[in-house]
Structure 1
Amino acid sequence: MTKQKGATSVLVISTLAMVVAFTCWAAISPLAVLLQKTYHLSATQKSILVAIPVLLGSVMRIPLGMATDRFGGRKVYSLLMLFLVIPAIGLANAHSYMAYVGWAFLLGMAGTSFAVGIASVSKWYPPNEQGLVLGITGMGNIGTAVAGFALPTIAKTSGISSAFWALVAPVVIAAVAIFLFTKDPVVSKKAQPASQQFAVMKNKMVWVLSLFYFVTFGGFVAFGNYLPSLLVDVFKITPIDAGMRAAGFVVLATLVRPIGGYLADKFGASKMLSLIFILLSACALILSVALSNIIAMTIACLLTAALVGIGNGTVFKLVPQYFPTTTGIVTGIVGAAGGIGGFFPPIVMGIIKDATGGYALGFVFLLVFTFSCLLVNGKLRRSAPNNIKMSSAS
């Protein structure tokens, strides 16, 4: 397989569309403190509002990934972007907590852009280039930072409603660009029927990668979404300042993602993942005992950003390489696991905050998960010392 003509334009437009989609997916988070004050929400209620878009965006990655395999990224991606106009307008006109929860849930469809984008782009490039290329595609995650930078400022100057109206035009432009200026690749094998696609779920390595992505991408989503609220609560800084700091986390995690794919290409995914989980465990330990020290927290958070970004690129280098004809559904499954990994922590943190008055226990849970991943990966390395072995389900 060689790189197909037109691959570069698909890569660029798909990545930019993902930036827009992730801006929508993360739109609630930087505005959560303002919404909490407006509607007098508890920490748990605020956490639910922050987390709810992640739920639909995670679960629906599986059917959207399958649809991309069967119908092509051009149609699926453009229709997805058009759909996002509906909840964006709904949020712009919401006037109650439950209305925000309902529309935020639907806005979560933006998170499925990851499965659609990865499944689309992967088919244009040969396996030896996919680590770097899919890392570049995954940089669309930087939309989370765009939300953190832009939306609090818009809300402060023009109101919360204007922040959601600001999403509509970019979403429409992205939909039109995908439909008019991209095409689907020529593929040598047709997508498998749904029954055969679901058979891939019997492959244990799908679930191992899902566990790893639950921690790496889940950590990215959870930190990106909840850091603004945590920073305001612990250090009493302004929502705009907190949004900027959280955006810095997202930018770093996003920029290093292609490096993860490159290092996995060069040194092997298993070795990289072992190092990542060791260092993530250390960061979780530091955060659990030094949360009130802004210098220690900043250093630990920035290192965590780099590690989860590299980890995301490392995990997803493997998916299209070993599942070339079921990339969409495997991307959906693994991506769903990662999204769910970002759904629970904000809610857990809110509950812990209301119950204990602090957040330390939440980082203890992160330590447990990362260390568990280290043990699982260690077992895999003993059975396959050079790399993670994965039998193709194609």
Structure 2
Amino acid sequence: MLQGLLSFKGPFRILNLSWFAFFLTFIVWFNYAPFSTTIQQDLGLTVSQARIISLCNLALTIPASIIIGMLLDRFGPRITFSSILVYAAFPTLAFACAQDFNQLVLSRLAMGIVGSGFVVGIRLVTEWFPPEEIGFAQGIYAGWGNFGSFAAEAVLPSIAAATAFLSVGETNWRLTIALTGIVAAIFGVIFYFNVQDTPPGKVYQRPARNGAMEVTSAQSFWALLLANIPLFGALALIVWRLQKANFLTTNIMYGIWAGLIALYLIQAYKTWEVNREVVTGQKDYPTEKRYQISQVFVLQLAYAVTFGSEIAVVSMLPEFFENTFNLNQAIAGPIAAMFPLMNLISRPTGGLISDKIGSRKWTLTFLIAGVALGYLILSQITANWPLPVVIVTIMLCAFFVFGAAGATFGIVSLIKREVTGQIAGNVGAYGSIGAVTYATFYSFLPQEIAGNHTFFQVLGGAAAIVCLLCVLILKEPKTSESEELADTAMLVGH
């Protein structure tokens, strides 16, 4: 398969274009983290305000992941991904031109939509690769795409420093951030004209009804309604945090909360409309066509403690190294980038192991156990630790974090083909829920070593709980023999 990646033909051409599109969305989404302290100083922000901006970066990713999943299943990956890439230029330019805290918050809120681009490639790669290769293919897509967070932290500060002569400050963060959005928009056009939704002759399967996720039993309907509550709860948490920062008044906060409750009720009604016949017993799915929401929910939690923790950790690591080891930004940024760097290796490895080991369930369980242990070890880091030891420890922890994320989506793609986009959207949204929850918690911690210890302990404890749920609830995914044979036959020669 690695030889195929270099051929840029058939499914590998789609895979390469997809991961690079995802790569660019992550550069855009993470273009604030390496400049957080610089922007804080330039615009006179408090530590709390700087952390709130990171939190806002995640807010709209939650509903956007659900909406993008629906649009993806209806319109296909080519149009959906191209639109996200072109859209990325607008909030990026707005952020680059921001002059105060309020403008920064609004532009980062809009930027959150870009972070939902991940779910598009999940469906696209699923269409082009057979089930026995899907874990590794998804790992390449997600791992190399996630590499964008590394590029943002490792490369963007260097570009800003190199173009400093064009700005008033020490680094030209505004031009650097603006360039990320412009490049994304240009590639969005390239993506549109060079990608197809499915291989030649293969029909793109769409859900029978749009507007909400299809379930296959009445029990799954009620479970889905419960699983959707945290999606709106995380948004309510962000609104509360903005009110505490005096960005919103109390009355506006209550008004937005009321709006979120109304949106949840509307979504619940749409879910009822789509699944009315199943809930009332008028429609009965055969056993081979059913899937359990409980499996989706465990995967949602798995992604919350893997991808969600990744987002939170990547956002705080530059500050962590600057404050703990007294490093400047030019050094702290690249060192912090060692964490997302592991995406290149661990996420494809997690997917490959999931493909080859014979048990996707136990692969995911083992990797999440490593996540729990890794974060608990990080919680013991102090300024007395040798810096090389800290870097190696962080990279080992990252291996399990990204490997588990890859193994999660090695299962997601095999649950039910017609609604892969919506399932991926829901799982991806829980990744953002995890990130919002962790980032909100971190925003209240003191800017000192004790606060970092507490933060990593919480990450490790949450991962341990999800590991136990994987053992008790998660089941081995099954793909129908007819679907597998059809996919394999369709992809022969590509």
TM-score (norm 2): 0.73
Match of 2:445 among 324, 335, 352: 352
Q: Structure 1 residues 389 and 348, CA, compared in 2 at 3 Å: closer, same or farther? A: farther
User: How far apart are residue 177 of structure 1 and its match?
Assistant: 1.2
Contact 2:23 2:147 in 1 (8 A): yes
Identity among equivalent pairs (%): 27
Quote the Cα distance in structure 2 between the aligned partners of 1:224 and 1:243: 10
Over the residues paired in the alignment, what is the CA RMSD in angstroms?
2.3
Match of 1:152 among 137, 143, 157: 157
Task: State which drifts further: 92-101 or 165-174.
Answer: 165-174
Quote the Cα distance in structure 2 between the aligned partners of 1:18 and 1:47: 25
Contact 2:294 2:473 in 1 (8 A): no
Quote the Cα distance in structure 2 between the aligned partners of 1:181 and 1:356: 49
Quote the Cα distance in structure 2 between the aligned partners of 1:253 and 1:206: 23
User: How far apart are residue 46 of structure 1 and its match?
Assistant: 1.5
Task: State which drifts further: 244-253 or 277-286.
Answer: 277-286
Which AA in structure 2 matches 1:184? D
Q: Counterpart of 2:341?
A: 251
Q: Counterpart of 1:205?
A: 295
Match of 2:432 among 312, 324, 339: 339
Quote the Cα distance in structure 2 between the aligned partners of 1:154 and 1:101: 24
1:94 aligns with 2:94: no
1:11-160 superposed matches below 5 A:
11-138=15-142, 139-156=144-161, 157-158=163-164, 159-160=172-173
Match of 1:183 among 171, 196, 209: 196
User: How far apart are residue 356 of structure 1 and its match?
Assistant: 8.8
**1:102-154 C-alpha deviation (Å, 9 max, x unpaired):** 11111122211101111222112221111111111112111111111222223
Q: Counterpart of 1:163?
A: 176
Contact 1:284 1:367 in 2 (8 A): yes
Quote the Cα distance in structure 2 between the aligned partners of 1:216 and 1:238: 28
1:330 aligns with 2:423: yes
Which AA in structure 2 matches 1:183? Q
User: How far apart are residue 214 of structure 1 and its match?
Assistant: 0.3
Quote the Cα distance in structure 1 between the aligned partners of 2:416 and 2:382: 41
Which AA in structure 1 matches 2:148? G
User: How far apart are residue 342 of structure 1 and its match?
Assistant: 1.9
1:7 aligns with 2:98: no
Quote the Cα distance in structure 2 between the aligned partners of 1:239 and 1:344: 26
Q: Counterpart of 1:224?
A: 314
Quote the Cα distance in structure 2 between the aligned partners of 1:348 and 1:297: 23
Quote the Cα distance in structure 1 between the aligned partners of 2:449 and 2:356: 45
Unaligned runs of 5+ in 1: none
Count of matched residue pairs:
384
User: How far apart are residue 68 of structure 1 and its match?
Assistant: 0.9
User: How far apart are residue 380 of structure 1 and its match?
Assistant: 3.0
Which AA in structure 2 matches 1:107? M
Contact 1:43 1:353 in 2 (8 A): no
Query: Match of 1:352, SS?
Result: coil
Q: Counterpart of 2:376?
A: 285
Which AA in structure 1 matches 2:210? A
Quote the Cα distance in structure 2 between the aligned partners of 1:359 and 1:273: 27
Which AA in structure 1 matches 2:149? T
Q: Structure 1 residues 192 and 239, CA, compared in 2 at 3 Å: closer, same or farther? A: farther
Task: State which drifts further: 164-173 or 204-213.
Answer: 164-173
Query: Match of 1:240, SS?
Result: helix
Q: Structure 1 residues 196 and 361, CA, compared in 2 at 3 Å: closer, same or farther? A: closer
Contact 1:33 1:229 in 2 (8 A): yes
Q: Counterpart of 1:240?
A: 330
Quote the Cα distance in structure 2 between the aligned partners of 1:212 and 1:72: 26
Which AA in structure 1 matches 2:32? I
Quote the Cα distance in structure 2 between the aligned partners of 1:266 and 1:18: 25
Q: Structure 1 residues 154 and 315, CA, compared in 2 at 3 Å: closer, same or farther? A: same
Quote the Cα distance in structure 2 between the aligned partners of 1:240 and 1:256: 26
User: How far apart are residue 171 of structure 1 and its match?
Assistant: 1.1
Contact 1:94 1:100 in 2 (8 A): yes
Quote the Cα distance in structure 2 between the aligned partners of 1:134 and 1:263: 12
Query: Match of 1:187, SS?
Result: coil
Quote the Cα distance in structure 1 between the aligned partners of 2:478 and 2:435: 27
Structure 1 ranges of 4+ moved more than 4 A: 354-357, 388-391
Quote the Cα distance in structure 1 between the aligned partners of 2:448 and 2:391: 25
Which AA in structure 2 matches 1:369? A
User: How far apart are residue 251 of structure 1 and its match?
Assistant: 1.3
1:298 aligns with 2:391: yes
Q: Structure 1 residues 190 and 300, CA, compared in 2 at 3 Å: closer, same or farther? A: same
Query: Match of 2:342, SS?
Result: helix
Contact 1:88 1:168 in 2 (8 A): yes
User: How far apart are residue 255 of structure 1 and its match?
Assistant: 2.6
User: How far apart are residue 295 of structure 1 and its match?
Assistant: 4.6
